[in-house]
Amino acid sequence: MCRATPPPNCRYDLKAGNAILAEAKHLPLYEELVAKHKVDYIAGGATQNSIRVAQWIHGGKGFAAYIGAVGKDAYGADLKAAASADGVTTYYDEHADFPTGTCAVLIHDRERSLVANLAAAEHYSKSHFESDATQGVVKGAKVIYSAGFFLTHSHEVMVACGKKAAADNTIYAMNLSAPFLCQFFKTQMHAVLPFADFVFGNETEAAAFAENNGIASTDVEEIAKAIAALPKENTARPRHVVITQGAKATVCASSDGTVTVVATPAIPKESIVDTNGAGDSFVGGFLAMISKGADLKAAIDAGHFAAGHVIQRDGCTFDSSVKYVPAGAPAGGAAATA
């Protein structure tokens, strides 16, 4: 992931707060960023960000594992090293014919715009998923999570994960991830949604889902309730739809009709470095606590803590010396570790 701060009149037709896949017109952007701007390189990827943060919030080593595709190149080696340093075990599908994916993160006035060139990431193979090593990870997982970007190339792997979770009564979670997925990958998204116990998104993604799925309301709570009420494979578990809204309260609608609203702790504007990774970090903190059996309020609190910490830094990074202590834990007591 390369991060830079371009002028506001960016000629690549990018929008603040948006995430898109690179088209041919965007490809010169990557070289331009390196040539004309001070660029920071940060290990990323939406799902990998969440997994790294979940590992941090949970604590200890070896709690979290990540499965995905990279190239057999320097960036792939860097990703593996960065994940390992954060305590995450990686199971990469390595490709010699495709480079490791990159994402240009453009920051202006503390808002980010993402342009992803997926490269190897969109060539994750079903054979890698079906390998003994990967299946061992899936079988042992308490929570299986994927960002929605996987819908563009490997939704059948998401379905397979969902089916496994439903059969074992373990948790499967997914993310809407970007408005374009709600618009152009509806079929794939609706193939996965029946298996989702948790669905994450932000207010922009929720609005895009409503617009493209016949939900007349523009109210975030009503949209979340509508998604929560969609057909579900594993009826032994309710579905929870969690919608973040930046500085506004986070909304969680459950399939039993209840809605949990939790205010987002205020962070002074001058303390915000950039918002890139905020949503990924929220998911990581949330799922770390859900894996411990925490209730929705406690999970949302952890998500807020993680996101609030990350937006005060460059990219999706965190100070590993900072330990998360859930509300109600004894002062100076144990962090959120198993």
Looking up residue 304, the CATH number of its domain turns out to be 3.40.1190.20
- Respond yes or no: is residue 280 known to be catalytic: yes
User: Which residues share a beta bridge with 112?
Assistant: 107
Do the domain assignments include residue 16? no
The model's pTM is 0.88
Task: Please tell me which residue in 86, 93, 197, 280 is annotated as part of the active site.
Answer: 280
CA pair distance 199, 238, nearest whole angstrom: 11
Do the domain assignments include residue 136? yes
Q: What is the pLDDT of residue 3?
A: 56
Do the domain assignments include residue 79? yes
Per-residue pLDDT of 233-289, as tens digits, reads 999 999 999 999 999 999 999 999 999 999 999 999 999 988 888 999 999 999 999
Do the domain assignments include residue 28? no
Give me the number of domains the chain comprises. 1
CA pair distance 154, 190, nearest whole angstrom: 14
Do the domain assignments include residue 37? no
Better-scored residue on pLDDT, 51 or 16: 51
Split at pLDDT 50, 70, 90, the class of 338 is very low
Q: Which range marks the domain in which residue 70 is found?
A: 44-101+117-310
Do the domain assignments include residue 20? no
Cβ contacts of 41 within 8 Å, gap of 6 or more: 1, 2, 3, 78
Do the domain assignments include residue 51? yes
Q: What is the pLDDT of residue 6?
A: 54
CA pair distance 213, 27, nearest whole angstrom: 32
Place of tokens 């309260």: 249
Contact 192, 159 (CB under 8 A): yes
Do the domain assignments include residue 66? yes
